[in-house]
Amino acid sequence: MSALMARVRAIPSWQLTLFVALLALGFLVAAQLATEAPRVRYTTQERTPLVETAGELLAQQDALKVAVLDLRAQIQEAEGAGTGSAAVVAELNDQLQEARIAAGLIALTGTGIVLQLEDSLEPAAPDANEGDYLVGSLDLRTVIEELWTAGAEAIAINGERITPTSAIIDIGPSVLVNSAYLAPPYQVTALGPPDLYARLSASPGWVDFIIARAQKYGIRVQFAEPESVDIPAFVGTVTLRYARPEATSSPAPLSDPEG
């Protein structure tokens, strides 16, 4: 034993350093190869610039959202300070505030619940579709419909306000809401009456959803009833390009065929 120690001590220190460095190098090379399956190696070349572009676009989106919110606040302040007939300005501002709340352009706080949906942790059955074990756009649309039916008055998913124009679509294992990229876990915040959760859990549609998704595939659904919930404002364009106000409101839709 002492002979072995003596031999180790006799090895120059630079050789020991080199040995440790080469060991780490070998480990890293192996780790690099292990994390890249052949298919991934094949697609990395085109995937990397796309990931970078998407990241840059998300950062731009965040900055643009801040700019929109800031401008809206400035406009609201300027409109409130408008000169002219004080009564007319006050009346118009009241109407504007009400319209903005109706449009989802004002952040709200009030009673409500938060639901969290997460992908299943259960292993997929051999003949099953792996997508069934993930939270998808259809799950989120179902939850939103059930919340509206239960009496929710405003809803947001991971900070994206649901508006009259909100579409929810799948993109791989994630979703797009208002064309914003959202990844699980999904927190669905709903503002509504204090008994919103009681109403939701009594709904046959909600029970069906829990049986079909949570019990069958292990989709994880949790809920919280905080003292109050915050719903963010919708940050997007409210300027419509094709729709314009009709001069006189018609009681029912009437579409004129082309030509």
Partner 1 sequence: MHRRRNQLTIAAVAFVLGLLVIVQLRAQAGGAAFAGLSSQELTVLVANLNARNDQLRREVATLERELATLVQNEQRGDASIDELRADLRRVRLYARLDAAVGPGVTITIRGPIDGSGVEALVNELRNAGAEALAIEAIRLVPGVVVSGAPADVSVDGLLLGDPLVIHAIGAPDKLTGSLTRSGGIIAQLAATQPDVLVEVLPIDTVRVPATDRDLVPENGRPRL
Q: Does 121 bind partner 1 (CB under 8 A)?
A: no
Choose which of 3, 38, 127, 250 interacts with partner 1 (CB under 8 A): 250
Beta strands at 154-157 and 229-231: parallel, antiparallel or unpaired: unpaired
Site pattern 141..160 for partner 1 (x: CB under 8 A): xx--x--xx--xxxx-----
Give the nearest distance from C-beta 154 to partner 1 in angstroms: 6
Pair 165, 180: CB distance under 8 Å: no
Work out the angle between the directed axes of helices 38-80 and 86-103 (0-180°, nearest 10): 160
What are the two backbone dihedrals, phi and then psi, of residue 112, each rounded to the nearest 5 degrees?
A: 165, -165
- Provide the CA 57 distance to its chain's centre, in angstroms: 16
Pair 234, 155: CB distance under 8 Å: no
Query: What does the radius of gyration of the chain's CA atoms come to, in whole angstroms?
Result: 28
Q: Does 14 bind partner 1 (CB under 8 A)?
A: yes
Pick the closest to residue 215 from 131, 115, 133, 107 (CA basis): 133
Q: Of the two residues 65 and 220, which places its CB atom closer to partner 1 in the complex?
A: 65
Give the nearest distance from C-beta 133 to partner 1 in angstroms: 13
CB atoms within 10 A of CB 204: 8
Q: Of the two residues 2 and 12, which places its CB atom closer to partner 1 in the complex?
A: 12
Q: Of the two residues 4 and 229, which places its CB atom closer to partner 1 in the complex?
A: 229
Q: Does 106 bind partner 1 (CB under 8 A)?
A: yes
Site for partner 1 in 49-68 (CB under 8 A): 50-55, 57-58, 60-61, 64-65, 67-68
Q: Does 89 bind partner 1 (CB under 8 A)?
A: yes
Q: Does 47 bind partner 1 (CB under 8 A)?
A: yes
What is the Cα–Cα distance from 213 to 42, expressed in whole angstroms?
35
Site for partner 1 in 166-185 (CB under 8 A): 166-169, 171-174, 176, 178-181, 183
Q: Of the two residues 217 and 234, which places its CB atom closer to partner 1 in the complex?
A: 234
